[in-house]
Amino acid sequence: MVSMTKYRHHAFADRHPKRMEEIMRDVCTDSGTEPVEFNGETNHVHLLVNSPPKVAVPKLVNSLKGVSSRRPRQEFPDLVRLD
């Protein structure tokens, strides 16, 4: 899965992707999947997940995108929402 910032704005500083990885690993653990690899840059992150067949991929992606969008904006006021 690749998740990008809106309009590919360069929004992430060095500390943001590290926290994004922690958040996404928590969501994967809660959903019964295993995060295999994570990396990112200033405008996107990559996540490779090992998922059993019983886990619905759209539901997992929806959870990952929702939580990984909401939590960093709550924790880092410098990440403003760009509409």
- Residue 69, CB half-sphere, CA atoms under 13 Å: how many? 12
User: pLDDT tens digits for 39-77?
Assistant: 877 777 888 899 999 999 999 999 988 887 788 778 877
Q: Supply the range of the domain harboring residue 55.
A: 2-75
User: Is residue 22 in some structural domain?
Assistant: yes
Q: For residue 56, what are the β-bridge partners? A: none
How many domains are contained in the chain? 1
User: Is residue 24 in some structural domain?
Assistant: yes
User: Is residue 80 in some structural domain?
Assistant: no
User: Is residue 67 in some structural domain?
Assistant: yes
pTM: 0.71
Q: For residue 63, what are the β-bridge partners? A: none
Give the amino acid at 14. Answer: D
User: Is residue 9 in some structural domain?
Assistant: yes
Q: Match 């690749």 to its residue by tokens.
A: 2
CATH number of the domain bearing residue 27: 3.30.70.1290
| Residue 71: per-residue pLDDT | 83
User: pLDDT tens digits for 12-34?
Assistant: 666 677 888 888 899 999 999 99
User: Is residue 81 in some structural domain?
Assistant: no
CB 83 within 8 A of CB 61: no
User: Is residue 49 in some structural domain?
Assistant: yes
